[in-house]
């Protein structure tokens, strides 16, 4: 994994990025490290995290904590280790999300619905509580355009992301002026998580996007880095849509 330097907006800062062993979360961690941050990355599997830490530059730049994103003990441990290892915590990026249910809402299993909301929304709130108590002053939640418009087949995932956007707004109001809370809302990004939405028909899927392609994890990481940085010091409660222009297309 090649390290690229983008600037120094995060020199001396420490970030915690959840769901960061691959995909968008790992791209966010890479971007923050490239701008001077040290990062604590979390995910369920220790092996994937070990590979991520190595790619981020090793122990000088990153530490990992394996566990479930909705486990309160894991959340407390991750924040504790971030502070213990690097001396502080400045930024939280809530990237953990699941979608175990596909199909219309009329067929949604109640247990799956509860799990989606617990991981995608309630866990995000808990992470913010832990990070705020440790001194974090910037939070970025990874939402989705599915939370802003109908999302056939992944409707309850969209409902959870609508709730996450609402949570972002409410937390921004309650935690100002000491903590800024924003979100990004990507369209389809080429990750394993979203593979079912484009694999085998990528050209067709991309044809709906005015900018002519699907998103890459780096597209989202750049937006997250902006919102987490001092360049966004007068922005809170905002959801930045990162969608290749697909929202411009009527009926999609």
* Per-residue pLDDT, 67: 97
Q: What proportions of the chain, in percent to the nearest 5, are helix, strand and coil?
A: 45, 15, 40
Total count of domains within the chain? 1
Is residue 220 one of the residues assigned to a domain? Answer: yes
Is residue 166 one of the residues assigned to a domain? Answer: yes
Is residue 3 one of the residues assigned to a domain? Answer: no
Domain boundaries, position 99 = 14-185+216-241
Is residue 144 one of the residues assigned to a domain? Answer: yes
Task: Calculate mean pLDDT across residues 107-114.
Answer: 95
Give the CATH number of the domain where residue 125 resides. 3.40.50.720
Confidence of residue 134 (pLDDT cuts 50, 70, 90): very high
Q: Does 196 score more than 80 pLDDT?
A: no
Tell me, yes or no, if the pTM score tops 0.85.
Answer: yes
* Per-residue pLDDT, 205: 79
Q: Quote the CA–CA distance of 237 and 182 in Å, as a whole number.
A: 5
Contacts of 40 (CB under 8 A, 6+ apart): 14, 15, 16, 17, 62, 63, 64, 65, 78, 81, 82, 85, 86, 89
Confidence of residue 190 (pLDDT cuts 50, 70, 90): confident
Q: Which residue has the tokens 């000491």?
A: 178
Per DSSP, what are the bridge partners of residue 215? 189
Is residue 120 one of the residues assigned to a domain? Answer: yes
Which token pair is 227?
């919102």
Is residue 251 one of the residues assigned to a domain? Answer: no
* Per-residue pLDDT, 103: 92
Residues labelled catalytic: 157
Task: Calculate mean pLDDT across residues 75-104.
Answer: 96
Confidence of residue 249 (pLDDT cuts 50, 70, 90): confident
Q: Cis omega (within 30 of 0) on the bond before 172? A: no
Task: Calculate mean pLDDT across residues 175-200.
Answer: 86
pLDDT digits (tens, 9 = 90+) for 41-54: 999 999 999 999 99
pLDDT digits (tens, 9 = 90+) for 201-238: 778 878 888 999 998 999 999 999 999 999 999 999 99
Tell me which residue of 245, 164, 244, 218 sits closest to 29, measured CA to CA: 218
Q: Quote the CA–CA distance of 242 and 220 in Å, as a whole number.
A: 7
């Amino acid at each position: 994994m090649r390290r690229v330097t983008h600037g120094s907006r995060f020199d001396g800062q420490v970030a915690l990025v959840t769901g960061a062993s691959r995909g968008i979360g790992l791209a966010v961690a890479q971007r923050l490290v490239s701008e001077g941050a040290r990062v604590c990355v979390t995910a369920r599997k220790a092996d994937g995290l070990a590979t991520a830490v190595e790619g981020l530059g090793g122990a000088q730049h990153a530490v990992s904590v394996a566990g479930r994103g909705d486990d309160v003990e894991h959340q407390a441990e991750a924040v504790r280790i971030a502070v213990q290892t690097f001396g502080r915590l400045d930024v939280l990026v809530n990237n953990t999300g699941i979608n175990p249910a596909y199909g219309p809402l009329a067929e949604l299993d109640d247990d799956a619905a509860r799990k989606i909301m617990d991981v995608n929304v309630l866990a995000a709130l808990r992470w913010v509580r832990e990070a705020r108590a440790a001194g974090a002053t910037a939070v970025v939640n990874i939402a989705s355009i599915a939370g802003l418009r109908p999302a056939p087949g992944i409707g309850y995932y969209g409902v959870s992301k609508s709730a996450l956007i609402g949570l972002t707004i409410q937390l921004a109001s309650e935690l100002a002026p000491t903590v800024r809370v924003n979100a990004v809302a990507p369209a389809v990004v080429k990750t394993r998580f979203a593979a079912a939405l484009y694999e085998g028909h990528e050209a067709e899927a991309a044809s709906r996007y005015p900018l002519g392609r699907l998103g890459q994890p780096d597209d989202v990481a750049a937006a997250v880095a902006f919102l987490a940085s001092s360049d966004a010091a007068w922005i809170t409660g905002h959801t930045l849509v990162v969608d290749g222009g697909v929202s411009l297309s009527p009926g999609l």
